Structure 1
Amino acid sequence: MGKSKGVWGFASDRYEQLAERFRPDFRRIREGAVYRELNRKLLHEEIRLLQERRFGALRIPEEEGGFGVSIPELFHLLIELSEADSNVTQALRIHFGFVERILNLPDGDRRRRWLKRIADGAIVGNALTETGSAQVGSYNTKLALREDGLRLNGTKYYSTGTLYADWIVVGATSEQGDVVTAIVPSTASGVDIVDDWEGFGQTLTGSGTTVFRETPVEPDDVFTRETYAKYATAFAQMVHLSTLAGIARAAAIDVAASIAERRRTYSHAAAGRSSEDPQVLQVAGRVHSQAYAAGALVLKAAESVQRAYEARSLADAEDDANVEAEIEVAQAQTVVAGLVLDAVAAIFDALGASATIRSKALDRYWRNARTIASHNPLIYKERIVGEYAVNGTHPPFAWQTGIGSPLQQDPAARVDNVRPGPPS
């Protein structure tokens, strides 16, 4: 695997020391990536390895038993992990989002209890999205009070990471009609986790069905919407962007190695070997450059999310910082996805038909990138950026899928004092 020094750029001595702690694990994960892809071997060993290294505690403050990394450092590490196997990063996406939620809680028993669980190695998965008849902005999954306590009932899909998790974040509707989040152990009674994800990419993320039947919930493990970090949507999207940047790096490394080893060529090629053919080398150069650019954009956008995190207790600055983070991340998304999808498709131009051999599993880069890039549709992000640039309209900070008319944007979201882009 490529280090931070060299073609991907140098971050800092602090980051290098941090990354070296995990790079042997990343190399081990990468070594088995093709075998897992071809044999559909789930990620239990890889997630357990990272649990043993307390990778999930990266953002926990050092005094609370974690590593105290910044948001840019976290996403830099997730790029490197995605270079090893993008499935692993996506399986941990909700975990890191939940950690941010806990970090933003006021000091108290609930915050301390969850910080300790995560510092001790607990992994959190998700059961949020529904594919049934739930209306936009609501859940069919219900949290109800019985004689013996709170009980959860419902069916979820896209339960990414839950196969590997100790705890599950569940979106539900309370008896009062409020949207809440219930946190339950993955081993709780009534929980049925099904590995039925049918997507053509990210096939090992466990993004299938989770069913809850009268599952007990502790009252203190029910969170209201107000406990979400205001930068949570930007943060969640940044995990996808880090995953895409890592996929591009892995594809760039593989195409360079394959070109160097390739012996056969074409009668109309520009050289006797691919490693000396200027047209083939041009493809390798373009793919590496696109991977570099994708990573650079991700790390730059991560700085805006860090600023939003730091501004969370500053009333005058918090709103502006969150808007800027959401827009910067949306702008990065619209470009990074295109760079990466182009890069992972171009590797076949350099390697020819033999690159399509299934045992090489090079197709996984395009399938995985296409799957990741299909989340949070690009067309909406482009429109949101345009509305902000032209009209000063605030971006949405949270959204859901469902049936029915979309939720209307609050008219107060328009910012009349925002300077639009340069005149045409």
Structure 2
Amino acid sequence: MQTVTKPLSAPGTAPSAAPTVYRILLAISLVHLLNDAMQAVVPALYPILEKSMALNYTQVGLISFFFNMTSSIMQPGVGFFTDKRPSPFLLPLGMLASMAGMVGLAVAPSFGWVLFAAMFVGLGSAVFHPEGSRVAHMAAGARKGFAQSIYQVGGNTGQSLAPLMTALIFVPLGQPGAAWFTLLAGLAIFVLFNVSKWYRLQLATGAVAKKGKKAVSEIQVKNVKFAIALLVLIVFARSWYSSAISNFYQFFLMEKFHLEIAGVQKFVFLFMLAGAVGTFFGGPLADRFGKWRVILFSLVGAAPFAVVLPHVSLFWAYPLLLCMGAILSSSFSVTVVYAQELIPGAVGLVSGLITGLAFGMGAIGAVALGKFADIYGLSTLMTVCSVLPLLGLLTFLLPKDEKSKKRTSLA
């Protein structure tokens, strides 16, 4: 197949100027899946480490804190740097750090070494995500929402594998099972070398927007800083609630219904898998109906399911997790594209802020949630966290994009 060498347009140029490069979108989505599958090793090990190292819930939260703070807080800095100096070589280098983290998790003899290894996995993620989002943006053509959905659904699918990893790998193999995930890192490095070649070609042909070139936005906003802060807070609420489900809901089910470790993984897997489906459809829905409307629906629409979840039987937990996971994650990719409209031309920085810093704030939440569970119990924790999606009502304070304005005026 002949390589497409036509330069892609900078943000805001005519949609017809650039085609959507599907092979690159699928490649970067595959690597996102592999990267986040390795990230998922960290929470997948929680039940194993909780028993083998006699950890309390606060310590479980600390593992999440060290991992997420490394992977998240560094992302805006990496994105800011690569906005000014795009660096294709960082993609495979970041994956090498994740590979080192996998080896460290497999052989860590103590809680302190687990924290250190988790930080290496986080470092690889911090390098990959801003540049991966940039590659998806460059390959998108006119279909920005769709492209981010393809990219993000890879990551969500990788994250959804955590419960299966616990049940199928770490329960029988224990902590050393993490060593098998170095194979995923090797495959990701191979794919990224090829993606980096295409990335360098786009730099050589002028596809990346030059510094200072103004891009056109679909959103008219007077106070960008306020809008970004509000958007980060909304993503923060979503990530706190997702953290409660992915990190502590399994312990809640084990305590309330006296289930084994392997038995509760299907519930968390269902929530995460539904999230991957919601992420996939969220981007195309935003392209059609508007980003603002999808962001509002994703949190407010998930709120009733979240409020009911801690009080239902195991039978009703299945459909609730399925519906809530899909709805809640429908804005996962949309918030990134929305933020890129707020700050045109700063793809890496925006990706770092929305998928990085906001989730870093969620990591603080993981520690707070763990401490809360130690003091007040898991049942109270899940009940309190169930109101977090209601913070999606803050979306009414965000400026609407053009498609949302048109849809609202027609309603």
Q: TM-score, normalised by structure 2?
A: 0.33
Select the structure with the greater relative contact order (CA < 8 A; seq sep ≥ 6): 2
Structure with the higher strand share, 1 or 2: 1
